Every structure is written in structure tokens, then in C-alpha cells.
Structure 1
Amino acid sequence: MERRKLIGIGAGLAVLPVLWALREVTGEAGKGPWHTDTAPLEQAFPLLGPLTDAKWVSSRDNDRELPSPELVISGLARLAPGKLKELTATYPFVTEGPTEDFSSWFEKPLKGQGPKDPRWISSKDLDRDGFGYQTNLWFDSRSDTVRFWALNPYGY
């Protein structure tokens, strides 16, 4: 075998334990195509209050050889009954929805998972931008569903 081939095989084998360790540390081993835990979302979006259901993915999920260096989370969550009404009474909203249906490489499992015929609204007051993080929230006024996309949602 050529020396280059041996070096390439060795380098490839060296990466596998690192990827396995990343999955173990982030708790992704043995899970389905998306996360369903609401606690990380409630930490990232405290104004949304307790969430009753969620489907979300992260750019650090292992769907390719190396995970993203920046954390992006994207998905859907269900608000507690009455929460959207409380938010719309407090913040100004406009009729506006996401421009694409989960188009990033890590969002593939969520494609087509949103509410049927949504009536999206959003509030710039609830979106955050600056200090190295950005958040976009869209709310379906019919199903109490929030769709979100957030870059560095925990501020680091």
C-alpha cells in the first residue's frame, strides 16, 4: 500500500472516536431524527414560557463528518394554551412567515413537519439580533405552534 493511503486511513480512523465522543457528550447517541425535549428551548426562549411539545434539530447534530462550529437550533414547539394570546396582547405582530421550509442540511428531518396551512405571524420585539446571536420566531395563530431558528441561542 502507498504511504499516502495508509496515512489517509489512519487519519480517518482517528476521527471516528472524536465524533463518537461528541455524540456521547451532547446526548445524541441512540436518538431519533430530532430532539423532543423542551427544557433547552425554554432556556433559549424564556418569554415563550413552558412548552408542551417540540421537534427540533441542531447544527451540531451528526449528519455529516464534522459538526458545525456555531450552534444553530431550528424547529417547532407548541405553546401552552393561552400563551400566544398573551404574547399578541403584549407585543406588536405582523403577518410574516419563514421564507423556506427547513432548507439547511441539518434541518432535513423537519421538512414538512410544520402545521398544515399555517397563518404565520411574527414580532420583531421577540426576535433577538446582536451580541453574536440571532433568533427568528414565527407563530401559527391557528395551532399555537412556534417555529424558530436561532444562532447561538445561549449567548456563547
Structure 2
Amino acid sequence: MERRKVIGIGVGAALAVPPAWWGLRQVASGAEEDWHTDTAPLERAFPLLGPLTGAKWVSSRDNDRDLPSPELVISGFATLAPGKRAELTAAHAFVSEGPADDFSSWFEKPLKGEGPEDPQWIRSPELDRDDSGHTTHLWFDRRSDTVRFRALNPYG
């Protein structure tokens, strides 16, 4: 009986090594995060936001399921250039309103817990689009240069 325990422990330890080794290899090779950080696609989708200084976003076409969505949805956070939020709030009417959900879609899971701490969201119906297949929602944090966004077919 003792011998079986020793063999069982040895087999269990051997099985645990490959996942740990694989995880270390992923970290060492600079494996990508669960989100995108490139700002160029967002600057094309939201030209009024101007040049962005940072971003964390996901797409419904990211490969987390067997069949990605046929419609493109992008969701996440972007960082505006200094002074851009003030420029936008001076030029457009804003109301205090936050997002209705906390990243509830399957592809938005990596964004939970990200973004500014204790945000004070405002949005402008003028800056949101909802025409001919485009649906865009933008929420701006009053305390930072962070904008949260969710857009359906942002490129038309």
C-alpha cells in the first residue's frame, strides 16, 4: 500500500509540471494579455476623441469561443490626451449616467475590474451614435481622462 501512495504522488507531481512549465513559457515569451492595447482602431472608430494615449479593449471577434460573433462589437477603456475631456465637455451637453451593466457579454470578461477606481461617469447623447447599424456609447470619467466605450459595427 505504501508503494502505491508513493507512485501516486510521483505521477501527480509529474502531471503538475507541464502546466506550470507551459505557464512560465507563456510569461517568458511575452504572451498577449486578454485585451488589445492598440489605439489606432479606436481612433478610426471614434475620431472625435482625437489621439488616444492608451487603451484596453476587447472585441466580439476575439477567439474565446468556437463561433465568434458575426457582428463586430468593441468594448473597453481608452485614455484621452490631456485636455481633450475638458474640450469635449465644453462643446457638448453631458448628463450624469453610467453604463447599465458591468461588462456582461462573454467577450468582455477580461475587462471586469479594469478601468478607473470609483469612476464618476458622464455621457453625451450627442456623441453617441445610433444610425444605420452603428450603435456607440461613450462614458467619460469626470476624475480622469478615461472613456469607457461599447460600439456595435463601429466602422460601418
TM-score normalised per structure 1? 0.79
What one-letter code is carried by the residue in structure 2 that aligns with 1:96?
A: E
Aligned equivalent of 1:107: 108
- Determine what percentage of the aligned residue pairs are the same residue: 76
Question: Which is higher, the Rg of structure 1 or of structure 2?
Answer: 2
Q: What does the per-residue CA deviation read over 1:23-45, in whole Å, with 9 as the maximum and x for residues that have no partner? A: xxxxxxx6320000000000000
What one-letter code is carried by the residue in structure 1 that aligns with 2:38?
A: D
Q: What does the per-residue CA deviation read over 1:51-79, in whole Å, with 9 as the maximum and x for residues that have no partner? A: 00100000000001011100000000000
> What SS is found at the alignment partner of 2:88?
helix
Aligned equivalent of 2:143: 142
The alpha-carbon deviation at position 101 of structure 1 amounts to: 1.2
> What SS is found at the alignment partner of 1:149?
strand
Aligned equivalent of 2:61: 60
> What SS is found at the alignment partner of 2:116?
coil
Are 2:127 and 1:126 aligned?
yes
The alpha-carbon deviation at position 130 of structure 1 amounts to: 1.1
Q: What does the per-residue CA deviation read over 1:66-124, in whole Å, with 9 as the maximum and x for residues that have no partner? A: 11100000000000000000000000000001011111000000001021110100000
User: Which contiguous aligned blocks of 4+ residues in structure 1 show a shift greater than 4 angstroms?
Assistant: none
Aligned equivalent of 1:38: 39
Aligned equivalent of 1:91: 92
The alpha-carbon deviation at position 138 of structure 1 amounts to: 0.1
Structure 2: gaps spanning 5 or more residues: 1-30
* Two-structure CA RMSD over aligned residues (Å): 0.7
Aligned equivalent of 2:73: 72
2-structure distance, mates of 1:101, 1:83: 25
2-structure distance, mates of 1:44, 1:99: 22
TM-score normalised per structure 2? 0.79
1-structure distance, mates of 2:102, 2:146: 15
2-structure distance, mates of 1:122, 1:32: 28
The alpha-carbon deviation at position 133 of structure 1 amounts to: 1.1
Aligned equivalent of 2:52: 51
Structure 1: gaps spanning 5 or more residues: 1-29
Residue correspondences, number:
126
